[in-house]
C-alpha cells in the first residue's frame, strides 16, 4: 500500500466500512458472550455463598470471601490484561482470558476446602476480569465509527442475560442433581466453545503495526474490506508511533493524567461507579442467602434472583430510549438512589414474600437503567486520549469496592446494624455521589466530545 501521508490510515478505513453481521457482528457476538460469562460468574458468587456455607459450615464472614476473592481477581485482571494484550496481542488475550477462567473454574469445583476454593476463584476471576476491557477494545476497533456508541452500549445488554442464565440454570441444577459443583462446571463447556471459536477473530491491525507486522496488518484490513463489500480505495498503514501502546508504565501515566485533567470530574466518576455498582453487587452477591434465611427454598431464591437480573433487559431498553431525551445526570440522580431505596424496602418487608419478589423486580429494572447510562456518561466526561483510561480506572475502582464491600457488609454491617440499615448506608453513598455529580460534573447530553 502507498504510504502517502494524506491518505487515510487502514484502521480509519476499517471503521468506515459497512456493518455486516457475518463480519463485525460476529466479533460483537463473541465479545458479548465474554461479557455474558463475566455476569454469569459474578452472579454465581451469590449462588455459591449459601451452598458452600452449608457444605463447609461457613460463617458469613468466611463465606463473604467467596465473592471477594473472585471480584478482587477481576479487578486485577481488568487492570493487568490491558498490558498483557499489548505483549501477546489483542486476539490472543481475547481468547486467553476465557481459557484461564475455564481451567481454574474447574479447579475450584474440585477444591478440597474454602482456602483453595478462594485461591482458584481469584485466578478464575483474574482471567475473566480481562474480558471486559479487552473485549470492548477489540469490538470498538472493528466497529464502524457511526455505530460504535450504539454497539458498545448494546454490549451491556449481555450482562442481564448472563446474570439471569446463572440464576435459572442454578435453580434447575439444585432442583435435580443438587450438587454445587455442577453450578460451576455447567458454564465451563460453553466458555471453552467460545474460546475455540474466538480463535477465528482477526488480530487488531493497530497492534500488528505497533509490532512491525505490516504485511499481516495489510492482510487483515484488505480481508475486512473484501468481506464487508466496502469501497476499495487507497489507504496507508499508520506509523508505529500512531498505534496505541498499553504498557504498565503508560497505564500509570494515564492514571496521573486522568486526575490532572479534572479532579472533580474524576471524583464524580469514581464515586458514581463505586456507589451504584456497590448497591448492585450487594444485591447480586447476598440476595440468594437473604431470601433463603427469610424462608425461601434454595431453588426459589435462585429463580427470584434470576428474575431480578432478567428484568434488567427492560431497564437497558428504557435507558437507551431516555438517555438522549432527558440527559445523563437526571437519569442517574433518580435511578441510583431509587435502586438503593428499593433494597431498603425489601429488607423491611422481608417476611412478605409477594412484596419482596415484586420489589426485587422493580429494583432489577431500575438499577439496569442506571448502569448503562453510567457507562455512557463516564466515557463522555473525558477527552479522546483519556476516554479509555478514565472509564477503565473508574471501573477498576468499582471492582475493588464490589469485592471488599460485600465482605464488610457480611462481617460488620449486617450483623451489627441489620439488613435495612446496611442497605440504607449504601444508599447514602449513592446520594453523596449524585450530589457531587450535580455540583461538579457537567451534563454531556448533546455535547461535542473533546
Q: Tell me how far CA of residue 299 lies from CA of 173, 175, 184, 295, 302, in angstroms.
A: 9, 6, 16, 12, 5
Q: Which residues of 306-343 are buried (b: 16+ CB within 10 A; e: fewer)?
A: bbbbbbbbebbebbbebbeeebbbebbbebbbbbbbbb
Q: What angle do CA 77, 83, 89 make, to 5 degrees?
A: 105
Tell me the domain boundaries of the chain: 18-198, 248-442
Phi and psi torsions of 279, nearest 5°: -60, -40
Is a pLDDT exceeding 70 seen at residue 1?
A: no
Section 41-55 average pLDDT: 90
- The SS3 of residue 9 is strand
Q: What is the pTM of this model?
A: 0.78
* Helix, strand, coil share (%) of the chain residues, nearest 5: 80, 0, 20
Of 77, 149, 174, 142, give the one whose Cα is nearest residue 399.
77
In DSSP terms, 9 is beta-bridged to 236
Is a pLDDT exceeding 80 seen at residue 213?
A: no
CB 69 within 8 A of CB 76: no
Is a pLDDT exceeding 90 seen at residue 147?
A: no
Question: What value does the mean pLDDT of the chain take?
Answer: 82
pLDDT at 218: 80
pLDDT digits (tens, 9 = 90+) for 420-437: 999 999 999 999 999 999
CB 364 within 8 A of CB 311: yes
Q: 42: alpha, beta or left, given left = phi > 0 and alpha = psi -120 to 50?
A: alpha
Q: According to the CATH classification, is domain 18-198 in 3.90.1420.10?
A: no
pLDDT digits (tens, 9 = 90+) for 286-340: 899 999 999 998 889 989 998 998 898 898 888 877 877 888 899 999 999 999 9
| C-alpha torsion 120→124→127→132, nearest 10 | -150
Is a pLDDT exceeding 70 seen at residue 249?
A: no
One fold for 18-198 and 248-442: yes
pLDDT digits (tens, 9 = 90+) for 362-410: 999 999 999 888 887 887 788 866 776 777 788 778 877 777 877 788 7
Q: Which residues of 163-197 are buried (b: 16+ CB within 10 A; e: fewer)?
A: bbbbbbbbbbbbeeeeebbbbbbbbbebbbebbee
pLDDT at 246: 47
Is a pLDDT exceeding 90 seen at residue 71?
A: no
d(CA 280, CA 339): 8
Using the Cα atoms of residue 140, residue 141, residue 145 and residue 147 in order, give the sign of their dihedral: negative
CB 99 within 8 A of CB 84: no
d(CA 244, CA 30): 23
* Answer CATH for 248-442 from 3.40.710.10, 1.20.1250.20, 2.130.10.10, 3.30.2320.30: 1.20.1250.20
Amino acid at each position: 500500500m502507498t504510504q502517502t501521508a494524506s491518505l487515510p490510515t487502514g484502521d480509519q478505513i476499517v471503521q468506515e466500512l459497512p456493518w455486516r453481521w457475518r463480519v463485525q457482528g460476529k466479533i460483537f457476538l463473541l465479545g458479548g458472550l465474554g461479557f455474558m460469562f463475566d455476569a454469569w460468574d459474578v452472579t454465581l458468587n451469590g449462588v455459591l455463598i449459601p451452598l458452600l456455607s452449608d457444605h463447609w459450615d461457613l460463617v458469613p464472614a468466611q463465606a463473604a470471601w467467596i465473592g471477594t476473592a473472585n471480584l478482587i481477581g477481576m479487578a486485577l485482571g481488568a487492570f493487568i490484561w490491558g498490558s498483557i494484550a499489548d505483549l501477546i496481542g489483542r486476539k490472543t488475550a481475547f481468547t486467553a482470558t476465557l481459557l484461564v477462567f475455564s481451567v481454574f473454574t474447574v479447579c475450584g469445583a474440585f477444591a478440597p476446602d474454602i482456602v483453595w476454593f478462594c485461591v482458584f476463584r481469584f485466578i478464575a476471576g483474574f482471567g475473566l476480569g480481562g474480558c471486559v476491557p479487552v473485549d470492548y477494545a477489540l469490538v470498538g476497533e472493528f466497529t464502524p465509527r457511526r455505530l460504535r456508541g450504539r454497539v458498545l452500549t448494546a454490549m451491556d445488554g449481555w450482562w442481564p442475560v448472563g446474570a439471569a442464565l446463572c440464576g435459572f440454570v442454578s435453580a434447575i441444577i439444585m432442583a435435580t442433581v443438587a450438587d454445587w459443583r455442577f453450578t460451576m462446571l455447567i458454564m465451563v463447556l460453553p466458555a471453552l466453545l467460545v474460546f475455540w471459536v474466538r480463535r477465528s477473530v482477526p488480530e487488531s491491525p493497530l497492534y500488528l503495526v505497533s509490532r512491525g507486522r505490516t504485511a499481516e496488518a495489510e492482510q487483515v484490513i484488505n480481508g475486512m474490506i473484501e468481506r464487508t463489500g466496502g469501497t476499495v480505495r487507497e489507504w496507508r498503514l499508520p506509523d508505529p508511533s500512531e498505534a496505541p501502546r498499553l504498557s504498565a508504565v503508560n497505564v500509570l501515566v494515564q492514571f496521573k493524567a486522568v486526575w490532572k485533567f479534572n479532579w472533580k470530574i474524576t471524583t464524580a466518576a469514581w464515586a458514581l461507579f463505586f456507589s451504584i455498582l456497590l448497591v448492585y453487587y450487594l444485591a447480586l452477591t447476598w440476595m440468594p442467602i437473604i431470601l433463603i434465611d427469610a424462608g425461601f427454598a434454595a431453588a426459589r431464591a435462585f429463580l427470584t434472583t434470576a428474575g431480578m437480573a432478567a428484568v434488567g433487559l427492560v431497564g437497558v431498553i428504557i435507558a437507551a430510549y431516555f438517555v438522549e431525551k432527558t440527559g445523563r445526570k437526571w437519569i442517574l440522580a433518580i435511578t441510583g438512589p431509587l435502586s438503593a431505596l428499593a433494597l431498603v424496602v425489601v429488607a423491611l418487608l422481608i417476611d412478605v414474600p409477594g412484596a419482596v419478589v415484586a420489589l426485587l423486580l422493580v429494583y432489577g429494572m431500575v438499577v439496569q437503567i442506571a448502569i448503562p447510562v453510567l457507562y455512557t456518561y463516564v466515557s463522555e466526561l473525558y477527552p479522546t486520549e483519556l476516554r479509555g483510561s478514565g472509564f477503565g480506572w473508574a471501573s477498576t475502582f468499582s471492582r475493588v469496592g464490589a469485592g471488599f464491600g460485600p465482605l464488610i457488609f457480611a462481617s460488620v454491617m449486617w450483623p451489627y446494624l441489620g439488613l435495612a440499615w446496611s442497605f440504607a448506608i449504601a444508599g447514602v453513598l449513592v446520594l453523596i455521589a449524585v450530589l457531587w455529580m450535580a455540583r461538579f460534573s457537567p451534563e454531556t447530553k448533546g455535547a461535542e466530545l473533546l
